[in-house]
Structure 1
Amino acid sequence: MSTAPDLGPADYPLSVNRQDLLRTPTGKPITALTMDAVVSGEITAEDLRITPETLQLQATLAESVHRRQLAQNFRRAAELTAVPDAEVLAMYNALRPRASSKAKLLEIADNLESKYGATVCGALVREAAEVYERRDLLAREEG
């Protein structure tokens, strides 16, 4: 794996100022994304998805301007690119107040970490479980 480039405010937006760093999920350079390429079939729907590498670059840029929370959002998004859309939606619904027990949220965190290596996302779900418990936002036990 290559070292992350040193990025700063002058590199924003990457799509204009650092095209050399951006690739599609199939490995095409970002400059290959043209209407002609779409019409000819050279570009597929997969090429239009963002890559985890691009999201990590965006995180680096955000940190360069002291936007730590935004950088963390980009890091979580980068991790979630490996998670199937249906699972992301299920997690989103599980994280709604009173939708899940603490055990269920911890199971989601474990799954994120063990199956997808999504440690930043797993930590966020664990934090949510703790906060929900303190604020009485966990699912009510059926009895």
Structure 2
Amino acid sequence: MTSTELTAADYPLSINRPDLLRTPTGKTLDDLTMSSVVAGDITSEDLRITPETLAMQGQLAAAAGRRQLAENFTRASEMTAIPDAEVLSMYNSLRPNASTAAQLEELASRLETTYSATTCAALVREAAQVYAARNLLAEED
């Protein structure tokens, strides 16, 4: 992540701060050309967003006073470290009546310890509290 403090004036990054953007393989935006694609120099990995870019987008959202959007970008940044199958499992676990309070706490703990996804873990814990208050937790066996 950049040590530069971003402001709403830096949005969009691709126009105002392209120097900060890199692909997961380290390519710049200028490296992403049709001729590079045709030459085989660009792979699908080059088209994925990085956790750093998501974190910067979150910083921009926060600077614009959009707290919830900033939190979404922070969670998305954390989720880049989580395998796709685990993400799908998380979504299923978070459906109403799909998990017990203990299962959601286990998920939150796994997010923290395995993936360092503390913001995602906090969301799971908040969901567990809301589900408990609204009687949307699965029955304990």
**TM-score above 0.5:** yes
Separation of aligned partners in 1, 2:33 and 2:129: 47
1:53-64 to 2 correspondence within 5 Å? 53-64=52-63
Separation of aligned partners in 2, 1:97 and 1:2: 38
Give the AA of the match of 2:38. Answer: V
Find the counterpart in structure 2 of residue 110 from structure 1. Answer: 109
Contact 2:104–2:124, Cα closer than 8 Å, also in 1: yes
Give the AA of the match of 1:83. Answer: I
- Say what the alpha-carbon RMSD is for the aligned residues: 1.2
Find the counterpart in structure 2 of residue 26 from structure 1. Answer: 25
Separation of aligned partners in 2, 1:2 and 1:43: 24
Partner deviation per Cα, 1:113-137 (whole Å, 9 max, x = no partner):
0000000001110111111111100
Q: How many percent of aligned residue pairs carry the same amino acid? A: 64
Give the AA of the match of 1:121. Answer: C
Separation of aligned partners in 2, 1:134 and 1:61: 34
Find the counterpart in structure 2 of residue 136 from structure 1. Answer: 135
Separation of aligned partners in 2, 1:31 and 1:138: 49
Greater alpha carbon shift after TM alignment, 109-118 vs 28-37: 28-37
Give the AA of the match of 1:75. Answer: T
Separation of aligned partners in 2, 1:32 and 1:135: 51
Greater alpha carbon shift after TM alignment, 24-33 vs 83-92: 24-33
Q: Given the alignment of the two structures, is residue 80 of structure 1 paired with residue 98 of structure 2, yes or no? A: no
Find the counterpart in structure 1 of residue 11 from structure 2. Answer: 12
Distance change in 2, residues 1:15/1:2 (3 Å)? closer
Separation of aligned partners in 2, 1:93 and 1:23: 32
Find the counterpart in structure 2 of residue 94 from structure 1. Answer: 93
Report deviation, 1:9.
2.2
Report deviation, 1:141.
3.4
Separation of aligned partners in 2, 1:93 and 1:71: 24
Separation of aligned partners in 2, 1:113 and 1:45: 28
Following superposition, which runs of at least 4 residues in structure 1 exceed 2 angstroms of deviation?
Answer: none
Give the AA of the match of 1:54. Answer: T
Aligned length: 141
Give the TM-score, by structure 2 length. 0.95
Separation of aligned partners in 1, 2:38 and 2:103: 45
List alignment gaps of at least 5 residues for structure 2. none
Give the TM-score, by structure 1 length. 0.94
